[in-house]
Chains A and B, each alone.
Chain A
Amino acid sequence: GEDVEQSLFLSVREGDSSVINCTYTDSSSTYLYWYKQEPGAGLQLLTYIFSNMDMKQDQRLTVLLNKKDKHLSLRIADTQTGDSAIYFCAESVASYDKVIFGPGTSLSVIP
């Protein structure tokens, strides 16, 4: 069945780049997402990429997609303490299809 995996923890120093990695199993995934969740808060869609793209850049965020390996990464440049949160990788076959989430990567930014 569909599955999304990601490492559970990442710790970086303020100002460094963070790279969060994710793998998924569903080859029919068309939409690949990154969501951010701050403690006790809801889900904030950070960015998403279509499966026919290799890369998407949005200010400090860069998403890379290796469709052959079903590998997705999120790079946050110049990581700030406000970036500390849980980051969920997710996928869906269509925009209106159910979204399958990974377990989340807890990013800690050390001042």
Chain B
Amino acid sequence: EPEVTQTPSHQVTQMGQEVILRCVPISNHLYFYWYRQILGQKVEFLVSFYNNEISEKSEIFDDQFSVERPDGSNFTLKIRSTKLEDSAMYFCASCILAGGVPYQETQYFGPGTRLLVL
């Protein structure tokens, strides 16, 4: 079964440093997402990306965050200057457009990158 992959699985960084989290979505998917989960809390939507542009973003996704699809396979989340409160698990997800094979219509989540900001 196809899957979303994410690298690294864990990242530790110093406050103020830039981090880039990487994701490889499922190859024929067209929508891409980032979510985050602060330890012990609910999963929160950050941003969705379609047709090489942001289609929706949440209040959390401020100017410190950016997303990019630098080539045909990777989807990245950059945090420019990390804060302590950015420590969380970051999940990438991808989705085929509605109208595809029914079992593929939902968002497929990657295993996550655990980010720790010290």
Contact = CB atoms under 8 A, between A and B. Distances in A.
B106 to A, nearest CB: 6
A10 interface: no
A99 interface: yes
A45 B106 contact: yes
Interface residues of A, number: 22
A88 B42 contact: yes
Interface of B is mostly: strand
Interface residues of B, number: 25
B112 A96 contact: no
Nearest to B100: A95
A103 B105 contact: no
Nearest to B95: A96
Contacts of B75: none
Nearest to A104: B42
A45 B4 CA distance: 13
B61 to A, nearest CB: 11
A90 B43 CA distance: 10
Contacts of B68: none
7 contacts: A41-B111, A42-B91, A45-B108, A95-B98, A98-B45, A98-B56, A98-B58
Interface of B: 31, 33, 35, 41-45, 48, 50, 56, 58, 91, 93, 95, 97-98, 105-112
